[in-house]
Amino acid sequence: MMKTVPTIAVLIAIACFVFAAAPAAHAQAIGAESCGGTPTPNTYCSWQGSGAGVTIGPSSCQNVGSCTDLGRNVTIGAGSCDANNACQDAGNSGAAQIGDNSCDANSACKDAGSDGGSFTVGSYSCPGSQLRYWPGGGLACDNPGSCNGPHSCENSGDSGGSSTIGENSCAGDHSCYQTGESNSSSIGSGSCLNYYDCFDAGFDGSAEIGDGSCIGANTFSMNAACYKAGMGQTAIIGDSSCDGDGACYQITDGYNAKVGNNSCDARQACFEAANSANFTKGNNKCDTINACSI
């Protein structure tokens, strides 16, 4: 007994030292100059639970409310979500992966990938006014940034849906808004650059849009390209297609549509083309004004 009491005391002392000396585990990884530069969670950044699956790169989420109520599985790159409510609720009860210099506009990626959904957006895209795209000739970008129009990718992949967006896409005001909500959408690079282009694409349906496609006028929704393409139906659009004011506007208005490469490249070409039956066109088709429209 004389030896037992000191032994127990030593063990208790050692245990207390180990617990006291163990560093506190960081639940999330926050880059330099992000989230207001103050301890998180705060009014810039907050999340569900401990935030163990949250990673935010440097110089991101720099506005109050820009990254609040994030989900448990969210990755944000460098220089992203720097605007009012830019990524608020992103991946909440879902998942979101946001690249560098992305979602830098008011409500640009708000609610994206939430409520059981999935949202992935690439890096180094451009606002439409700064992107120069030549089909078959590549991209030139002055100032990188993805989903950089107001509300551009808001609600994308929401409500159990899936939305994947490539580089240099979805740069206009409300472009790619609600894409893939409740179902699925996939948008390539250099696509959907202007005002309302690809709005509701794949909403409660399916939309697959290639590279350099669905580039309309930067004016109002009737001139938007691929507006509501695949909403409630299935739309498959190839590369460098549906480039023109109102091109492929509501192309799946009642039925499914499939367009090849370099097709429907003119003002209101393939406008509501699947209005009365399924619509299929191959490569290099319907490239004059109002071609293949109802």
Count of residues for the chain? Answer: 294
Residues contacting 72, CB < 8 A, separation 6+: 47, 48, 49, 51, 52, 53, 54, 91
Q: Is the pLDDT of residue 118 over 90?
A: yes
Tokens representing 177 are 């808004």
Mean pLDDT for the chain overall: 86
Residue 123: pLDDT band (50, 70, 90) is: confident
Quick one: pLDDT at residue 1? 40
- Answer yes or no: are the C-beta atoms of 227 and 251 closer than 8 Å: no
Answer with the residue of higher pLDDT: 25 or 76: 76
Domain ranges of the chain: 43-294
pTM for this entry: 0.84
30: three-class secondary structure by DSSP: strand
**pLDDT, tens digit, for every residue of 135-150?**
333 444 444 457 988 9
% of the chain at pLDDT higher than 70? 83
Type of residue numbered 281: K
Q: Is the pLDDT of residue 253 over 50?
A: yes
Quick one: pLDDT at residue 145? 58
Quick one: pLDDT at residue 148? 85
Answer with the residue of higher pLDDT: 219 or 196: 196
Quick one: pLDDT at residue 279? 98
Residues contacting 291, CB < 8 A, separation 6+: 264, 266, 269, 270, 285
**pLDDT, tens digit, for every residue of 266-283?**
999 999 999 999 999 999
Quick one: pLDDT at residue 28? 79
Write the secondary structure of 213-239 as one string of H (helix), E (strand) and C (coil). Answer: CCCCCCCCHHHCCCCCCCCCCEEEECC
| E strand segments, the chain | 29-30, 45-47, 54-56, 67-70, 74-76, 95-98, 118-121, 131-134, 138-141, 162-165, 184-187, 206-209, 234-237, 257-259, 279-281
Mean predicted confidence (pLDDT) in 62-66 = 97
Does an H or E element contain 34, and which?
none
Q: Is the pLDDT of residue 220 over 80?
A: no
Mean predicted confidence (pLDDT) in 174-201 = 94
Quick one: pLDDT at residue 89? 97
| Region of 113 on the Ramachandran plot (φ > 0 left; ψ -120 to 50 alpha; else beta) | left
| Alpha-carbon gap, residue 75 to 93, rounded angstroms | 14
Mean predicted confidence (pLDDT) in 28-54 = 94
